[in-house]
């Protein structure tokens, strides 16, 4: 079966979304646990319990982020190049924060000095909090538009200061999106800790989930109101046929208030995405109160999927709109690789993604069970 070019463009938009959701559910869980580590663990043994709930899997989960980056590079090369120009300092900050995770997991327990271990606990916190915040801030800036243009040779030019690039990114709306991201990942980590630990740690995680779930609902609602009434969206007025060869400059784009809500008029079913986001966060809180950690974890995962899909659906077909030159904005239809490249990548996904998912499920099943303080104390040497 050979898919036509237009269909493949749409398929890869969906697949990149799947990879981002997979990253949020798996590695986002690890980041959420890291953010909660210094606060829920009251003494060293409890913190070792928290670390051991994600220790065997965090590196495998992070592959989702690497794969998503690779997919964007291969499927949307011009988006990848433009994003690195505009978000270069932000990406470096994420990279440096992620360094704390492998080193923290491996070296935290090598010395018994409380100061050494506490320092690494806060390093693991930074390794979860900083990327979560920056990812949310990045989406907030995408919704507002990024200051770049394409020249006649389709070379992207970022129209901002490279070394001061972080300052414009940290605007109020983007920071609100960052809070949504931090809260939803921390909520996911709290539901995971309920699932993998026992009281009193599980009880503290339940209390944290109540607060974080409320923060997710409130901030997600505020972001939605802001998108509807506070910032201009982008709208394609005319463009080449979706199945034609990519040419980002062969279209006309305008900015207009409320344009990010157009999709909900064209496709009413798209409203299910924000509904799932709100419902998932609310159910995560309710199931936490009811001491049903498995259902709370699944609800939290649904909340993340709904929130990410809401951003994707609202921006469709835009991937990276330009705030300074709207006609240079990059969309699903005009920023992709060749038909052959998308086809080869598609069949690679069809073959290998089920194998990766099967192996991941097997790994979790082999290492499943509650992690307890007694188990940690019984070990004279721990890998984490």
Got the DSSP string for 330-357?
Answer: EETTTS---HHHHHHHHHHHHHHHHHHH
Q: In whole angstroms, how large is the CA radius of gyration of the chain?
A: 21
**pLDDT of 46-102, one tens digit each?**
999 999 898 888 888 888 888 888 899 999 999 998 888 778 888 888 999 999 998
* DSSP letter for each residue of 212-260: HHHHHHHHHHHHHHHHHHTSEEEEEEEE--TTSPP-TTSEEEEEEETGG
Structural tokens at position 340: 């052959």
Report yes or no on 83 lying in a domain: yes
Query: Residue 312 contacts by C-beta under 8 Å, 6 or more apart in sequence?
Result: 13, 17, 273
Residue range 175-190: average pLDDT? 96
Determine the Cα–Cα distance for residues 276 and 267; give it in Å rounded to an integer.
16
Angle at 172 between CA 262 and CA 18, to 5 degrees: 50
In a domain, 383, yes or no: no
Instruction: Write out pLDDT tens, residues 317-370.
Output: 999 999 889 999 999 999 999 999 999 999 999 998 898 889 888 888 887 888
User: Does 384 reside within a domain?
Assistant: no
Helix, strand, coil percentages in the chain from 3-state DSSP, rounded to 5: 70, 5, 20
Name the token pair of 37: 């580590």
- Give me the sign of the Cα torsion angle 336, 250, 91, 221: negative
The values of phi and psi at residue 253, to 5°, are: -130, 140
At 308-318, the pLDDT tens digits run: 999 999 999 99
Structural domain contains residue 51? yes
Whole-number Å distance between alpha carbons of 175 and 179 = 6
In the chain, how many domains are there?
1
- What's the CA gap between 276 and 308, in Å, rounded? 10
List residues bridging with 239 in a β-sheet: 251
Q: Quick one: which of 189, 191, 187 has its CA closest to 216?
A: 187
Q: CA-CA distance, 189 to 85, in Å (whole number)? A: 32
> Does the residue 19 lie in any domain?
yes
pLDDT band at 160 (very low <50, low <70, confident <90, very high): low
Sign of the CA dihedral 262, 267, 269, 270?
A: negative
DSSP line for 11-23? HHHHHHHHHHHHH
Residue for token digits 């509650």? 370
Domain extent at residue 183: 5-378
Dihedral sign computed on CA atoms, order 192, 197, 203, 205: negative
State residue 57's pLDDT score: 84
Token pair in block for residue 192: 């995971």
Is residue 382 predicted with pLDDT exceeding 50? no
Q: Which residues pair with 160 in a beta bridge?
A: none
255 part of a folded domain = yes
pLDDT digits (tens, 9 = 90+) for 131-148: 999 999 999 999 999 888
Confidence of residue 303 (pLDDT cuts 50, 70, 90): very high
Q: Please tell me the predicted confidence (pLDDT) of residue 166.
A: 67
**Phi (first) and psi of residue 135, to 5 degrees:** -60, -45
Beta partners for residue 148, in sequence order: 158
Q: For residue 41, is it within any domain?
A: yes
Q: Which residue has the tokens 């008029």?
A: 265
- Residue 23 located in a structural domain: yes
Residue 383, pLDDT score: 46
Helix axis angle, 114-144 relative to 44-54, nearest 10°?
50
Distance CA 220, CA 214 (A): 10
Task: State the pTM of this model.
Answer: 0.91
Residue of 300, 272, 306, 278 whose CA lies nearest to 288: 300
Cβ(175)–Cβ(169) under 8 Å? no
């Amino acid at each position: 079966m050979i898919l036509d070019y237009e269909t493949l463009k749409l398929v890869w938009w969906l697949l990149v979304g799947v990879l981002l959701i997979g990253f949020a559910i798996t590695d986002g869980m690890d980041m959420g646990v890291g953010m909660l580590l210094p606060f829920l663990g009251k003494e060293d043994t409890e913190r070792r319990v928290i670390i051991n709930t994600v220790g065997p899997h965090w590196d495998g989960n992070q592959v989702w982020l690497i794969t998503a980056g690779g997919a964007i590079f291969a499927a949307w090369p011009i988006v990848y190049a433009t994003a690195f120009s505009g978000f270069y300092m932000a990406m470096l900050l994420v990279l440096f924060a992620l360094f704390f995770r492998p080193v923290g997991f491996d070296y935290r327990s090598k010395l018994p000095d409380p100061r050494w271990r506490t320092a690494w606990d806060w390093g693991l916190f930074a390794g979860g909090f900083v990327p979560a915040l920056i990812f949310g801030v990045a989406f907030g800036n995408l919704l507002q538009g990024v200051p770049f243009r394409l020249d006649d040779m389709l070379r992207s030019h970022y129209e901002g200061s490279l070394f001061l690039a972080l300052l414009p990114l940290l605007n109020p709306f983007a920071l609100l999106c960052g809070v949504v991201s931090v809260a939803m990942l921390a909520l996911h980590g709290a539901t995971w800790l309920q699932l993998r630990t026992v009281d009193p740690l599980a009880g503290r995680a339940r209390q944290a989930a109540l607060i974080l779930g409320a923060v997710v609902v409130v901030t997600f609602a505020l972001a939605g109101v802001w998108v509807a009434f506070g910032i201009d969206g982008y709208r394609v007025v005319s463009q080449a046929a979706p199945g034609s060869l990519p040419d980002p400059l062969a279209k006309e784009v305008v900015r207009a208030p409320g344009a990010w809500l157009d999709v909900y008029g064209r496709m009413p079913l798209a409203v299910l995405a924000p509904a799932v986001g709100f419902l998932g966060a609310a159910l995560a809180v309710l199931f936490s109160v009811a001491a049903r950690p498995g259902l709370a974890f699944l609800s939290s995962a649904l909340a993340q999927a709904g929130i990410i899909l809401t951003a994707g659906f609202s921006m469709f077909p835009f991937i990276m709109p330009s705030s300074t030159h709207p006609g240079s904005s990059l969309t699903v239809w005009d920023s992709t690789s060749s038909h052959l490249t998308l086809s080869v990548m598609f069949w690679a996904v069809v073959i290998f993604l089920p194998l990766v998912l099967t192996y991941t499920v097997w790994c979790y099943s082999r290492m499943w069970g509650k992690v307890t303080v007694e188990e940690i104390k019984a070990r004279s040497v721990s890998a984490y």
